[in-house]
Structure 1
Amino acid sequence: MTARRKERIDELDVLRGMAILSVILQHALGVFIRRPEIQFADAAMIGMLFNITKFAVPAFVFVTGAALVYNYYDNLDYPKFLWKRVKDILLPYLIWSIAYEIYSNGLPATNYLWLRGLAKDLLYGNAFYHLWFVVMIFQFYLVYPVFRSLFRKAPAILDSKLRFAAAVGLLAAIYTFIMWFSSSYIPSADLHAGSKAVQVIFIELRDRNFIYFFFYFMLGGIAGLILPRWREFVARSCIWNTYVLAALFIWIGFELMQGVSGGLVNLNYSTSLKPSMFFYTVSEIIFLYGVSMVIANSGSVIFKFFNLAGKYSYGIYLVHAFLLIYAVGMVDRFSLTSHHLLAGVYSFILCALGTIAVVMLISKIPGGKFLIGPIPGK
């Protein structure tokens, strides 16, 4: 049986659009905060902006969970489902990974060693700095039947507010422990597993292991399963959650400043894989979901822009790293050496607009979907 096609949830496209633009902003700011001549004031402001945009990857996981449960809860033809994701996700990923490999290392010698290195980079998402995300998100498609079976048992829990609160609280507690394990225990204990495979998958490459992002997928799945009630919850939470978000933002900002050494701000203190950032990110996703609902209901130019960016977000994600290189080069010509924050913002604007234009052009050519993934309306 095939999955029943349902209408698109507009606010998910808006949230996805916010997330992809935040990814580009993160990467643009990251270029300039690492320059040794940066002033502390610029670095501190970039760090604060970086914290604001850290919701992006968890938001993508949240949207994936919501969309999958919303569309594939009743019926799932798993082989057809998985084959579609191979064509829509892995094929463009393969093409762009090869392109980034050639850009970084030049034309390859067609020999066994190069093919083995490419295969390893594809498996780990190491062909370029941003491609790890594809490896991580695809794991959710692979194991979706397991999550689906859990969600199909959820109605009995969802019917009781007490059981529902207890279940979400338990998931949050488990995930908080995983975040503590990742950010505190592993580094302090210099943990080494007995197995090389376990060491690589669960310790060295934990930033692309789906287990370390499962809560956002489950939260998105809950939203997709009880969409009207989820929207009501988001609307009711707008006031109190704003205060919670502000308090958590101060907390993670304080942690970021604790990592300052020699006037340099270390963005590694803004990792998503720690308890404080987990709490902050959940609050921010709920807040931005509410904003997305308002934008989606407005039908304004802002909605059309975020909606467009959201629908083409995968292609934008794959392409933007190339465009950022040239955007930064253009901005550097203006010699904004004492204005790194401004240079980062300018680079972001050029990269975002340029990438959207390129992806739109690719969508018009025959076979464009093999480069940027699914094309809306086709």
Structure 2
Amino acid sequence: MGKPRIEEWTQLRGLAFLAIVMQHSIAEYIYRADIESADSIMLTMIYHFTRFGTPTFVFLSAVLMFYHYGGKIRYGSFLRKRLGDVYVPFLIWTVIYWLYVRVFTPGFWQKGGQDFGSLLKEMFLPQTGYQLWFILMILQFYIFFPVLAGIVRYVRKRLDVLSERARSRSVVAIVAGTGLMYMGMLYISYHQMGAWSSRLGSPWSELIQYRSYSFMMYGFYFVVGAIWAANIEKCRAWCIKLLPWSGLVFIGMYIRLGYDVLQGSGEVVNLNISTYLKPSTFLIIVAQILLLYGLLLMMKGRSASFLRLLGWIGKYSFGGYLVHALVIYCIAFFTRPLTLTGSHLPVTLLTFFLTAAASLGISYTLSRLPGARWIVGAKRRAPKQAESEAEFRGKAAMY
């Protein structure tokens, strides 16, 4: 019968996509010289509502992989499919971003001005398509996934012989232990690795400088994804039970994170203070993912139109993710020459809405074309649609 489609995962992916678009829209305006302090503070407050975006993509990538490919897999065919769905679109969009930034530079058309060496560098360290670093990071997870899946299968076999209560305690211990080790790694990354980078020579300094590109720096989300995929109903129940607590933790860390950024910034707000690789940011991200997941579950049957919209956004979010920075570049072509004093907040919100709508529209259109897999990672739908979770349960009840 195959596995059912878990609707809240697609809806959560839709929210994560919107959060990432908002982050990058804010980054386009918050560092401008003519911004007023009121706009800076308001944009910082909105920014900290969106920190869950990229880590949520990591978590969902992990939970989907373990959900669908948790058993033994053929490494060759598995990796070819992943490269086709993810890496080929990365290569295509890397070239598109590289060309877009350079074709408007007069020196590009001069003899020798093309600088194709910089294009090769973009394949490993994306700069013009700044959001594409995520593809390189998640690709590492795909490469090592068969090994990780084997470890998960081994742990599950050891847990299956335990009683229900002992198994639940063991899972909680694994999550807690992994979380503590992960926070320790984040503490070292945030407070010490910067000094290491300045002392060490190449290539170690470069590896530390670009540590956010390593999938190991997001290891906690992969572990939780594996556990979530194997215990969907229990995780759902826990999300709902923890709603009051996850909400309180989120509010507390939201205040703390905003205070840290405003206190640590000078005349210009420094959003890098709340990087993903900071222990306090990690806490607000985990709390917000649990909070949003629980709220999505609570909304089932009550806000059908809104959830359908989120599901649609989530369905085309990968293509939207690939293209959205290009849309922001196009908008910035018109806004950067303007003086926006006192208007950075409304212009940022307008940019967000235009970018989200245009990116999803482009993703939807491209997904309808032949060869869409190579452009936006989407295949054209076969006549028979995938089963929903309700349909799957209805069929299962017949056996």
TM-score (norm 1): 0.91
Q: What is the one-letter code of the residue matched to 1:365?
A: L
* Contact 2:7–2:311 (8 Å) recurs in 1: yes
* Contact 1:331–1:346 (8 Å) recurs in 2: no
Structure 1 residues 1-378: aligned runs within 5 Å: 5-106=2-103, 114-155=115-156, 156-157=158-159, 159=164, 160=166, 161-193=168-200, 196-201=202-207, 203-262=208-267, 264-295=268-299, 297-298=301-302, 300-329=304-333, 336-375=340-379, 377-378=381-382
1:128 offset after TM fit, Å?
Answer: 2.0
| Structure index of larger Rg | 2
* Contact 1:102–1:108 (8 Å) recurs in 2: no
Q: Residue by residue, what CA displacement relative to the aligned partner does 1:182-241 show, whole Å, maximum 9, x if unpaired?
A: 1101124555445x344323x011111111111111112211111111111111111122
* Contact 2:84–2:373 (8 Å) recurs in 1: no
**Partner SS state of residue 52, structure 1:** coil
**Partner SS state of residue 4, structure 2:** coil
1:114 offset after TM fit, Å?
Answer: 4.6
**Partner SS state of residue 37, structure 1:** coil
* Contact 1:331–1:347 (8 Å) recurs in 2: no
1:151 offset after TM fit, Å?
Answer: 1.4
Q: Residue by residue, what CA displacement relative to the aligned partner does 1:158-180 show, whole Å, maximum 9, x if unpaired?
A: 85233223222221111111111
1:25 and 1:165 map into 2 onto residues whose CA distance is: 34
**Partner SS state of residue 124, structure 1:** coil
Q: Residue by residue, what CA displacement relative to the aligned partner does 1:117-147 show, whole Å, maximum 9, x if unpaired?
A: 3232112233421111111111111111122
- What is the Cα-based RMSD across aligned positions, in Å? 2.4
Q: What is the one-letter code of the residue matched to 1:89?
A: V
1:87 offset after TM fit, Å?
Answer: 0.7
* Contact 1:51–1:253 (8 Å) recurs in 2: yes
**Partner SS state of residue 180, structure 2:** helix
**Partner SS state of residue 172, structure 1:** helix
1:54 and 1:205 map into 2 onto residues whose CA distance is: 19
Q: Residue by residue, what CA displacement relative to the aligned partner does 1:259-300 show, whole Å, maximum 9, x if unpaired?
A: 2212x2111112010110011111111111112324455462
Identical counterparts, % of pairs: 29
* Contact 1:125–1:133 (8 Å) recurs in 2: no
1:308 and 1:27 map into 2 onto residues whose CA distance is: 21
1:86 offset after TM fit, Å?
Answer: 0.8
TM-score (norm 2): 0.86
1:7 and 1:311 map into 2 onto residues whose CA distance is: 15
* Contact 2:26–2:348 (8 Å) recurs in 1: yes
Q: What is the one-letter code of the residue matched to 1:124?
A: L
C-alpha change, 1:214 and 1:109, in structure 2 (3 Å) is: farther
1:376 and 1:294 map into 2 onto residues whose CA distance is: 32
1:189 and 1:332 map into 2 onto residues whose CA distance is: 37
Q: What is the one-letter code of the residue matched to 2:244?
A: I
C-alpha change, 1:190 and 1:331, in structure 2 (3 Å) is: closer
Q: Comparing 327-336 with 352-361, which one deviates more in the overlay?
A: 327-336
* Contact 2:11–2:310 (8 Å) recurs in 1: yes
* Contact 1:12–1:292 (8 Å) recurs in 2: no
C-alpha change, 1:150 and 1:246, in structure 2 (3 Å) is: same
* Contact 2:21–2:355 (8 Å) recurs in 1: yes
Q: Comparing 361-370 with 273-282, which one deviates more in the overlay?
A: 361-370
**Partner SS state of residue 130, structure 1:** helix
